[in-house]
């Protein structure tokens, strides 16, 4: 006896619609030109915003777990985030092969808009330790986003919570790193590199059974995927507009090149050459 799916929900939305809110999501696109390529640009950008939201959730979950010294929970959140980062990075594909003419067909519709103005992307960067109070200025006209960013500016980054966790486990994290001004961009420190060097040199034979090595590798995977995201962004932008000034008056390719050259969780990379 075959069982048929429920088809009639009366005057109520389907349970799928109630949970996913698909009708809301699929009606958020309002192209401003007649160019058929603009729809792909809008949807791709909105998908990226949703992935930013997921990543902020995962990295905050990891940070909260580390603050409570629940390392397995933190590792689980970091592992999930790497799969989500790969999906985020893949979302460049619809835009990665635009010619300048194709992009220029709808670029004027952006006006002064720029991805640089994304509040959720900024929260993601703050969690990665790249902070500056000046980056709150564009969001003054959006009170909720501004308040969330101001809170994130003053909170520890994910890496700050990692280093505090290491210190509680007896690792010699320098006091000036643990007590640094959290509203400032994280800067690499030789003392932190020395800690990671020891962790990697010990490997699975360390007193922690390799738990901190696994944490280092999870963070390294995140850092590499962030680097790939930045480089894919750079490549797509260079292909679509060359060296022109970016949308919203941003420096465009020159700014993205500077970003792509900066690694997150920097001591994890310098320590590798010292083991």
Annotated binding residues for heme: 233
C-alpha to C-alpha distances, 49 to 54, 67, 121, 156, nearest whole angstrom: 9, 27, 7, 23
Binding annotation: 107, 233, 247
Annotated binding-site positions for substrate: 107, 247
Nearest to 157 by CA among 129, 119, 130, 135: 129
| 65, 112 Cβ separation under 8 angstroms | no
d(CA 222, CA 186): 17
Report the alpha-carbon distance of residue 211 to residue 194 in Å, rounded: 17
State the Cα–Cα distance between residues 195 and 268, nearest whole angstrom.
Answer: 10
In whole angstroms, what is the distance from residue 11 CA to residue 273 CA? 64
- 181 in helix, strand or coil? coil
């Amino acid at each position: 006896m075959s069982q048929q799916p429920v088809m009639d929900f009366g005057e109520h939305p389907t349970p799928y619609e109630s949970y996913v809110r698909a009708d809301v999501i699929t009606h958020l696109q309002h192209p401003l030109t007649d160019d058929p390529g603009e729809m792909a640009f809008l949807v791709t950008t909105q998908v990226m915003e949703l992935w930013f939201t997921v990543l902020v959730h995962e990295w905050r979950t990891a940070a909260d777990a580390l603050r409570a010294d629940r390392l397995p929970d933190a590792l689980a959140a970091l592992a999930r985030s790497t799969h989500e980062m790969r999906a985020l990075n893949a979302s460049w594909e619809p835009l990665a092969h635009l010619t300048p003419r194709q992009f220029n067909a709808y670029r004027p519709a952006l006006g002064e808009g720029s991805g640089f103005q994304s509040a959720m992307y900024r929260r993601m960067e703050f969690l990665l330790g790249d902070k500056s109070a000046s980056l709150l200025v564009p969001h003054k006209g959006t009170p909720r986003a501004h308040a969330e960013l101001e809170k994130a500016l003053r909170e520890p980054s994910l890496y700050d919570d990692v280093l505090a966790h290491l210190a509680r486990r007896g690792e010699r994290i320098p006091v000036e790193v643990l007590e640094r001004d959290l509203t400032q961009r994280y800067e690499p420190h030789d003392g932190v590199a020395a800690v990671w060097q020891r962790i990697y040199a010990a490997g699975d034979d360390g007193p922690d059974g390799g738990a901190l090595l696994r944490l280092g590798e999870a963070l390294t995977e995140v850092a590499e995927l962030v680097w790939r995201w930045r480089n894919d962004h750079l490549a797509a932008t260079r292909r679509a507009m060359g060296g022109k000034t970016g949308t919203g008056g941003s420096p465009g390719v020159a700014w993205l090149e500077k970003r792509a050259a900066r690694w997150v969780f920097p001591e994890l990379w310098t320590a590798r050459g010292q083991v």
